[in-house]
Amino acid sequence: MTDFLTNFDIDKNELASRIAAAPSLEAAVELTDAYLSKLHGDITRGCSLQKSRSSGYLIEIVRYAVRMLNTVEPVVHMAEPRFSDARAGLTARGFVMFGKAVQSAIILALLIALLSINQTPWPTPWIPILLVVILLGIEIYLLVFEWRIRSVSKKCSGAYTLLAPLDISNPLPPKVEVQLKIAHVHAFLNCIADALSHADKALTDQTPEKESAFLEKETQILKLFQDLFEAKTFHDGEWALKKIGHIQAILWEQGIVVREFDPKDPADTLNFDIEPGADPSINCYVTIRPAFIKGKRVLLRGRVAEPFSNSV
């Protein structure tokens, strides 16, 4: 079984060109998903059922991650003006309206002053001149103020200006349909390659499955089985019992110790199941079934009978 990343690197350039030529994001996702499904089929062809299932779970996670791109909404909401910007716009409009009201009041006062000149002989008409100067100053200030506000609002947003009237009937910002696409195809495929690399590592770190053809390689065990069947054919029980030593030698080669019960060893109480003795003629421990021990592990517990006791 070759790994996912090796096969993916072989097909990476061809897949990149196909994704770059895809007309939409949905088409690119469909191409990638179909390729990952094909990759899993090619990798697991001829593998065991356990390997196929494990790799299938991992590759399905990658496919789900790719399909998440279809959940992106292809609609962009234009930035809504912040509350502070809207309040600043209302304040600016109120200031301009206040300046216009002051101008109207000054114009009215100027007209009254001009009418009073003919009725009252003033040496110098300084009040009308002062009012005209104030009126021109306010007008110039308002023009500069509006120009600065409009320039700042255009920089902040092309859709909203601070002096523009707010549409209370439609408070939601406008929507704009956009065509989504994968901008950086190689970066997208590099992310998939990283995911496949982790999938290969997870498969490698798994506990190796048991080999179904174990006995096919153990010719000594097969030959022993042949001898036992031959002893059965000729009803030769003594010959079959002689093969027990051969069995013990084979176990010893595998690191397995056949242990008899030792009443002086406290550890044997953990290696054997002890049962009361039923024969009055036996006054010692009798190992009925030996324990199989490999290193510090007890593969199979043994069985032992205690000496006969009248109290029992």
Per-residue pLDDT of the chain (312 residues; tens, 9 = 90+): 568 888 888 888 998 898 888 888 888 889 999 998 888 888 887 777 777 888 888 888 888 888 888 887 776 666 555 545 556 656 777 777 777 777 777 777 767 766 666 655 555 566 667 777 777 777 777 777 777 777 766 655 544 444 444 454 555 556 666 677 787 888 888 888 898 888 888 888 775 555 555 666 778 888 888 888 888 888 888 888 888 888 888 888 888 888 899 888 888 888 888 888 777 777 888 888 899 999 888 889 899 988 876 554
Cβ–Cβ < 8 Å for 309, 277: yes
Instruction: Enter the tokens of residue 50.
Output: 């356990």
Q: How far apart are CA 295 and CA 259, in angstroms?
A: 12
What pLDDT was estimated at residue 159?
A: 44
pLDDT for position 168:
45
Distance of CA 47 to the CA centre of its chain: 27
CB 271 within 8 A of CB 293: yes
The torsion of the CA quartet 36, 42, 48, 50, rounded to 10 degrees, works out to 0
Determine the Cα–Cα distance for residues 137 and 121; give it in Å rounded to an integer: 28
Q: What is the pLDDT of residue 248?
A: 84
Give the pTM: 0.41
Q: What pLDDT score does 69 carry?
A: 84
Q: What token pair was written down for 194? A: 């990283």
With a CB cutoff of 8 Å and minimum separation 6, the contacts of 154 are 161
Half-sphere exposure (Cβ direction) of 76: Cα atoms closer than 13 Å: 7
pLDDT confidence of residue 210: 52
The pLDDT score that the predictor gives to residue 107 is: 77
Pairing mode of beta strands 302-305, 286-289: antiparallel
Locate 248 and state its tokens. 């013990």
**Distance between CA atoms of residues 109 and 102, nearest Å:** 10
Q: Where are the domains of the chain?
A: 4-74+179-205, 83-177, 217-305
